[in-house]
Amino acid sequence: MLFHNQLREKIVSQDQALKALRIYREKNKKIVFTNGCFDILHSGHIDYLSQARDLGDILVLGLNTDQSVKRLNKGLNRPINDEKSRAYVLAGLASVDLIVFFDEETPYNLIKLLQPNVLVKGNDYELEKIIGVDILKENGGKVITIPFLVGYSTTSLIKKIIEG
């Protein structure tokens, strides 16, 4: 039961995240932020999140709500897993310290609110086009891209399942 509660404690509101990050900052912890849908967790996600966590002391994951995923036009039946299920699975990862939902199409407002030291995205993004790069530059933070593990994507996994 103790571990179960620890998982749930990682899934926090934006206000709870702010309070937690205030405490981490007082302890001079480097805060890393990344975001995504993480619909069907696979090896590529695990590799990406592990690399992101290695860039600091605390990894905050901004997780798209179900409505946000639908607006991103990822597919008719997306997300496959609802937001609570996705958050709970992600909370089981040692690399993820906090999970915060956001309902907008981008995490810009969440990044502005949380003010991480490091912003991480996959290297399929051009550095200057990453949402939040202006916020990090303004505050002396870093924006870093991480290469994806080749051959892994949720879309290709769904296609493989459908095609058999």
pLDDT at 49: 97
pLDDT in tens, 86-128: 999 999 999 999 999 999 999 999 999 999 999 999 888 888 8
Structural domain count of the chain: 1
pLDDT at 1: 47
The pTM assigned to this predicted structure is 0.90
Structural domain for 100, as ranges: 2-163
pLDDT at 162: 66
List the CATH number of the domain containing 93: 3.40.50.620
Ranges in the chain, pLDDT < 50: 1-2
HEC letters along 80-143: CCCHHHHHHHHHCCCCCCEEEEECCCCCHHHHHHHCCCEEEEECCCCHHHCCCHHHHHHCCCEE
